[in-house]
A and B are shown apart, each in its own frame.
Chain A
Amino acid sequence: MAWFKREDKGIITTTQEKKEAPDGIWNKCPNCKKPLHYSEQVENQYVCHYCGFHLRIGSKEYFSVLFDDNQFTELFADLHSGDPLHFTDTKKYSDRLTETKTKTGLTDAIRAGVGKINGQDIVIACMDFNFIGGSMGSVVGEKIARSIDYSIKHKVPFLMISKSGGARMMEAAFSLMQMAKTSAKLALLAQARIPYISLLTDPTTGGVTASYAMLGDINIAEPGALIGFAGPRVIKETIKKDLPKGFQTAEFVQEHGFLDFIVDRREMKEKLASFLKMLAPYGVQEPVAEKEADNS
């Protein structure tokens, strides 16, 4: 539930880009504070070339980093959130949605596309943190569910890029049930023997960690990403102790056995492509041994 406490440092928003790019824009690296020219960022896959810090980017940037020639067909682009609970906090949820859509140019906190990665077909669903903290509402759940259906139907591997504070409070229990929905679909994807890669990026917490983000055939992460179930502040308040240095970083999570590897964004595409190539062809044959075991 940490969407409210989002930090704005290090997020490169699409709006920013639209307004101020492409030229003459310098961002400071949130880590080493050195100036980064916009074109340099693009060239370096939004990684600081001084210190290696991975800037927070959205679906647009991830798609450009991963899909061959940035060519892909967007899937289920017309899904929008309803407001089933007529939720109003400091403002109406429906107004918040409209404002956020205008501000970000996005329809919700996720986009999905099908394209190629080094010539191999892949479906990628990627979360956008600047849409209400990447919170998981009905659209996020539904788009993931349909992407998985697409993957199963076309026997195409599925890559999920998570970046989220967790559940979307304004959809309350509807949001909670997206965890059940996405996990159930992933069970079907697993039965169809289609590879599922879960990429966890900064930050991935709450209900997203407690559902699809942790269920990959391989779970991988970007360096330094905050990954956890409970947010650090909540844990600190609960145990009334300071948290150890490096707690809930990707490196910490890998050390405890929940990530297969950590990958530099600049090497990600190659590594994913090699992985998929090793597993191909998928969703075709049923291993004989297991089939026999099922019948015994």
Chain B
Amino acid sequence: MKITFDFEKPLAEIEGQIEKVKQVEEKNKLDMSATIAELEAKLHEAQKEIYQNLTGWQKVQISRHPERPYTLQYLELMCDDFIELHGDRTVGDDKAIIGGWGTMNGQTAMFIGHQKGRNTKERQYRNFGMANPEGYRKALRLMKMAEKFNKPIITLIDTPGAYPGLEAEERGQGEAIARNLLEMAVLKVPIICVIIGEGASGGALGIGIGDKVMMLDNSWYSVISPENCSTILFKTWEQKERAAEMLKLTSTEMLKNKLIDGVIKEPLGGAHQDPVAMAATLKKQLLKDLKALSERNIDELVTERIDKFCSMGVVEE
């Protein structure tokens, strides 16, 4: 297991103990298998205890793990073939949102997703997964192409937010996101959206209108990040854990509030512990949903899509 966070420290301790016992066993040619088995059982219990009771903030931390799989890695692991397409045909090519045609088990879909970087250089190149308006407009162009050729759309969402920059404002960040919300509501092909990491606000929703919207277990989705929420409410970042609880941003809570349609299980400890297994799980789920959605009448599907989003919200009268 990769140990990264403070809340995982107890696991490191037990793993250390197991390692020591194994060394003793090796060195002294003793049979210590009983002790090892006992410790391994203890480790397993501790893992379950920790990973099944993650707080909102702990899940936020996992969602941002530097080795968490990003969109392109999923595509590499899930697709037989992928052809990336670039540009919004107006301003340029946004590197924070990627897209293109891909096939899974021979089935074609338009894949669109936020893309983050692994190292400093890459992170800058990808603008930390924060798209400019041309990213959303590229996404819309590709989605319209999918509609034209009657192919389903799959979006993978992972962003700390749409980029709050000067040029982004000049080029209409608000309009770009708004346009996608409107167009995606009525696109006449099935749309599946999966929040694979961070789902921050309009920047996430801008490619997040679908017939089936799911979250990976340790992703988060809300109107604001816990840090920014804490800053606004309490004038300090320190209350981010409390903010994370208050925002009810985990996959479990989002499902409970009927704001998403499903949760996809991650490998124990998070997607970064086993990207291959994670991609396999995701692929299986996507293929299942693609099949189910492809059997639906598209006009009914669009009506249901609209009705679903229109039923969200809690009002009293």
In the complex, the chain A residue whose C-beta lies closest to that of B246 is: A87
CB distance from B187 to the nearest CB of A (A): 10
Rounded to whole angstroms, the CA-CA distance of A83 and B314 in the bound complex is 8
Rounded to whole angstroms, the CA-CA distance of A86 and B246 in the bound complex is 8
Q: Which residue in B165, B175, B224, B259 is a CB contact (below 8 Å) of A177?
A: B259
Quick check: B315 and A167 within 8 Å, CB to CB?
A: no
For B313, the chain A residues whose CB sits under 8 A away are 137-139, 141-142, 171, 174, 177-178, 181
With an 8 A cutoff between CB atoms, is A105 at the interface?
Answer: no
With an 8 A cutoff between CB atoms, is A243 at the interface?
Answer: yes
For chain A, residues 89 to 105, give those with C-beta under 8 angstroms from any C-beta of chain B. 89-90
Q: Which residue in A81, A83, A180, A231 is a CB contact (below 8 Å) of B205?
A: A180
For A174, the chain B residues whose CB sits under 8 A away are 257, 259, 312-314
Quick check: A229 and B315 within 8 Å, CB to CB?
A: no
In the complex, the chain A residue whose C-beta lies closest to that of B177 is: A210
Tell which of B169, B172, B174, B249 has the most Cβ of chain A within 10 Å: B174
In the complex, the chain B residue whose C-beta lies closest to that of A234 is: B164
With an 8 A cutoff between CB atoms, is B293 at the interface?
Answer: no
For B306, the chain A residues whose CB sits under 8 A away are 184-185, 187-188
Q: Which residue in B175, B247, B310 is a CB contact (below 8 Å) of A145?
A: B310
Quick check: A173 and B254 within 8 Å, CB to CB?
A: yes
In the complex, the chain A residue whose C-beta lies closest to that of B130 is: A238
Quick check: A78 and B182 within 8 Å, CB to CB?
A: no
For A215, the chain B residues whose CB sits under 8 A away are 178-179, 182
Quick check: B259 and A173 within 8 Å, CB to CB?
A: yes
CB distance from A178 to the nearest CB of B (A): 6
With an 8 A cutoff between CB atoms, is A48 at the interface?
Answer: no
Q: Which residue in A172, A179, A228, A257 is a CB contact (below 8 Å) of B248?
A: A172
CB distance from A293 to the nearest CB of B (A): 13
Quick check: A211 and B181 within 8 Å, CB to CB?
A: yes
With an 8 A cutoff between CB atoms, is A21 at the interface?
Answer: no
For A87, the chain B residues whose CB sits under 8 A away are 246
With an 8 A cutoff between CB atoms, is B168 at the interface?
Answer: yes
Quick check: A229 and B310 within 8 Å, CB to CB?
A: no
Contact of A180 with B249 at beta-carbon distance under 8 Å, contacts A139-B315, A167-B201, A247-B166 already known: no
Quick check: A138 and B314 within 8 Å, CB to CB?
A: yes
For chain B, residues 167 to 196, give those with C-beta under 8 angstroms from any C-beta of chain A. 168-175, 177-179, 181-183, 185-186
For A188, the chain B residues whose CB sits under 8 A away are 186, 306
In the complex, the chain B residue whose C-beta lies closest to that of A141 is: B313
With an 8 A cutoff between CB atoms, is B96 at the interface?
Answer: no
In the complex, the chain B residue whose C-beta lies closest to that of A83 is: B314
Return the CB mask of B111-141 against A: 1 if under 8 Å, else 0: 0000000000000000000000000000000
Return the CB mask of B215-258 against A: 1 if under 8 Å, else 0: 00000011110001100111000000000001111000010010
Q: Which residue in A139, A173, A181 is a CB contact (below 8 Å) of B257?
A: A173
Interface size bracket, A side: 35 or more
Contact of A229 with B201 at beta-carbon distance under 8 Å, contacts A172-B247, A173-B259 already known: no
Rounded to whole angstroms, the CA-CA distance of A241 and B316 in the bound complex is 45
For A89, the chain B residues whose CB sits under 8 A away are 233-234, 246
Rounded to whole angstroms, the CA-CA distance of A206 and B162 in the bound complex is 11
Q: Which residue in A83, A137, A139, A173 is a CB contact (below 8 Å) of B249?
A: A173
Contact of A180 with B169 at beta-carbon distance under 8 Å, contacts A85-B248, A89-B233 already known: no
With an 8 A cutoff between CB atoms, is B309 at the interface?
Answer: yes
For B171, the chain A residues whose CB sits under 8 A away are 256
Quick check: A167 and B224 within 8 Å, CB to CB?
A: yes
CB distance from A272 to the nearest CB of B (A): 21
Quick check: B185 and A229 within 8 Å, CB to CB?
A: no
Contact of A82 with B314 at beta-carbon distance under 8 Å, contacts A167-B201, A187-B306 already known: yes
Quick check: A214 and B223 within 8 Å, CB to CB?
A: no
With an 8 A cutoff between CB atoms, is A209 at the interface?
Answer: yes
Quick check: B169 and A230 within 8 Å, CB to CB?
A: yes
Rounded to whole angstroms, the CA-CA distance of A85 and B310 in the bound complex is 19
For A141, the chain B residues whose CB sits under 8 A away are 312-313
Contact of A169 with B309 at beta-carbon distance under 8 Å, contacts A1-B224, A79-B317, A89-B246 already known: no
The 9 A-B pairs with the shortest beta carbon distances in the complex, nearest first, are A230-B164, A138-B313, A209-B174, A183-B181, A82-B314, A184-B185, A229-B174, A177-B312, A229-B173
B residues adjacent to A (C-beta < 8 A)? 162-166, 168-175, 177-179, 181-183, 185-186, 201-202, 205-206, 208-209, 221-224, 228-229, 232-234, 246-249, 254, 257, 259, 305-306, 309-310, 312-317
Cβ contacts A to B, 29 pairs, < 8 Å? A4-B232, A80-B317, A81-B314, A85-B246, A89-B233, A137-B313, A138-B313, A145-B310, A172-B246, A172-B248, A173-B248, A178-B313, A180-B309, A183-B181, A188-B306, A210-B162, A210-B178, A211-B177, A213-B178, A214-B178, A215-B179, A228-B174, A229-B164, A229-B202, A235-B166, A239-B166, A243-B166, A247-B169, A258-B175
9 A-B pairs besides A80-B317, A181-B312 with CB distance below 8 A are A79-B316, A169-B224, A177-B309, A184-B182, A184-B309, A214-B174, A235-B169, A247-B166, A248-B169
